[in-house]
Structure 1
Amino acid sequence: MFKYLSGFFLFLVTSLNVTAQPVASPKIKVLLLGSIHFTPSTQDVYKNKTVDVQDEKRQVQIKQMLTQLSRFSPNQICIEVPTQNQSKVDSQYHRYLNGQYKLGTHEVDQIAYPLAKQLGLPTLTCINYKGAFDPDPVNEYAKANNQEDIIASLEKFASSTIAGVVAVQQKQSISELYRFINSNDELTKNAAIYSDYLVRIGQGDKYPGTDLVAGWYNTNLHIYTNILRAIHPGDKAIMVLFGYGHIPILKHLFESNPKFEVVDVNDVLKE
């Protein structure tokens, strides 16, 4: 009898140990929506064409994409605005909700604000970080050290890449454009500017290209940290609307974090 009792207690203890194991929290879904700038920045070396958001056809396309994005139902929408401008965005968004702010032509105004309103979100989350990125010393080094061929190859590659984006922009809908620029092929091309070309500029103990790329990674690590800091308890999904040149690094960081699940843009912007 004692043999059976000891076996029963062993089973009971084992069962208690199993049931006492902590239950893993569901992963937070992250939609990294890489974007072109509807009004190209003067700081960008390689630019797409301006998106005429006043065009009636474009407005219909934007609204169609907003409907697709709303199905993802994010708890937060993170935008490419410096964190120190949060109070300004809070005020502007509040005025927009009250019909006192006319949307501008920027992609944040055209996509993030209307989507946040549609979802009933109280505000948008500013996550941008302005890091240092000055390519001039790299170009000067290349010219002075017979590495101008790398710069020429980079110019040819980048020009061809942006020409492909412009071709899709001019012929396809807004959703199709966003599916294109967020495809693995296009994100890899964008990342190659840093990983294949810029890092090769330098010789011996000189690493001007690598140092420039390190600064780019540093900027994106800060942006990633700002997103992590913004996560609220109970958040199940967040959307990040950001220049698509940042997406390859941000995607790698989130895929390396077991608390998050990166959602494919094509799965959200499907017809």
Structure 2
Amino acid sequence: MLKYLFGFLFFLISLNVTAQSAASPKIKVLLVGSIHFTPSTQDAYQNKVVDVRDKERQKQLDQMLTQLSQFLPNQICIEVPTKGQSKVDSEYHQYLKGQFKPGTDEVDQIAYPLAKRLKLPTLTCVNYRGSFDLEPVNAYAKANGQTAILEALDQFASRTMTGVVDVQEKQSITDLYRFINSKEELRKNASIYTEFATRIGQGSNYPGTDLVANWYSTNLHIYTNILRAIRPGDRAIMVLFGYGHIPILKHLFESNTQFEVVDVSDVLKK
């Protein structure tokens, strides 16, 4: 009797969840992977500096912002640690008054002006800085005859970045963002971890896998920070992050039935 009762209760709960999902429209998520306009010294493979002071580049940025604004996000989530929210609030409010001189990074050049266009009260800081130490992986590979894997990884990553730089130098900023957010480029970025790093280690030693696990953990925390930031009434959010984060974040949001992931190419059109 109890078995049938529990089964009936589970059936009712399932019906309720299904009804709620049907009644509540999915929140649209636009995951915009970005290069760093001023490359980080911590990145092993870097694009070239984007001269955002150049008039042509400013024109290109303006054109991209016009397309992004049509997505109409209720929030713009940025790659700044959550503890930096008060600083960003202060800077953005000064920016709205014309009292803040924007820097050359993608937050100042994309997120701030886009939020201003959309009349958003602020931006949302969601970054989480987890552990990511390559040294144990390199040391293990060198000590255990696995340097060929490191060399293959280096060649693959270098070729991938060469492709990015080529587009950066020859095409517009919108073309660049459409390129780095393409399915193929995101797959290449993810494969650096899944195809190469995980192969470093033998027997009971998993230095490469541990490194990848830490990378996944970092992105899981970022994902959770985004979920925590969502407010009742939000119908669309945009996430602006280094494009290395996007493959994992995309997988996480696609597996959550409350969200609809919008492809960058559907917003940044030719």
Q: Is the TM value for this pair above 0.5?
A: yes
Quote the sequence identity (%). Answer: 74
Distance 2:148 2:23 in 1: 52
Distance 1:69 1:181 in 2: 16
Letter in 1 for 2:147: E
Aligned pairs for 1:212-251 within 5 A: 212-251=211-250
1:86-120 CA-partner distances (Å, limit 9, x unpaired): 00000000000011001110000000000000000
Q: Which runs of 5+ in 2 are unaligned?
A: 1-14
2:121 equivalent in structure 1 = 122
Distance 1:104 1:84 in 2: 20
1:188-227 CA-partner distances (Å, limit 9, x unpaired): 0000000000000000000000000000000000000000
Distance 1:84 1:70 in 2: 27
Distance 1:135 1:24 in 2: 47
TM-score (structure 2 length as normaliser): 0.92
Q: Which runs of 4+ in 1 moved over 6 A?
A: none
Displacement, 1:24? Answer: 2.4
Partner-residue secondary structure (3-state), 2:23: coil
Distance 2:50 2:199 in 1: 34
Distance 1:28 1:155 in 2: 38
Letter in 2 for 1:104: G
Distance 2:207 2:69 in 1: 43
1:108 equivalent in structure 2 = 107
Number of aligned pairs? 252
Distance 1:192 1:162 in 2: 13
Partner-residue secondary structure (3-state), 2:30: strand
1:71 equivalent in structure 2 = 70
Q: Which runs of 5+ in 1 are unaligned?
A: 1-16
1:156-188 CA-partner distances (Å, limit 9, x unpaired): 000000000000000000000000000000000
Partner-residue secondary structure (3-state), 1:165: helix
TM-score (structure 1 length as normaliser): 0.92
1:38-85 CA-partner distances (Å, limit 9, x unpaired): 000011000000000000000000000000000000000000000000
1:142-165 CA-partner distances (Å, limit 9, x unpaired): 000000000000000000000000
Displacement, 1:37? Answer: 0.1
Aligned pairs for 1:24-63 within 5 A: 24-63=23-62
Partner-residue secondary structure (3-state), 1:42: coil
Distance 1:205 1:70 in 2: 50
1:182 equivalenced with 2:181 (yes/no): yes
1:163 equivalent in structure 2 = 162
Aligned pairs for 1:4-15 within 5 A: none
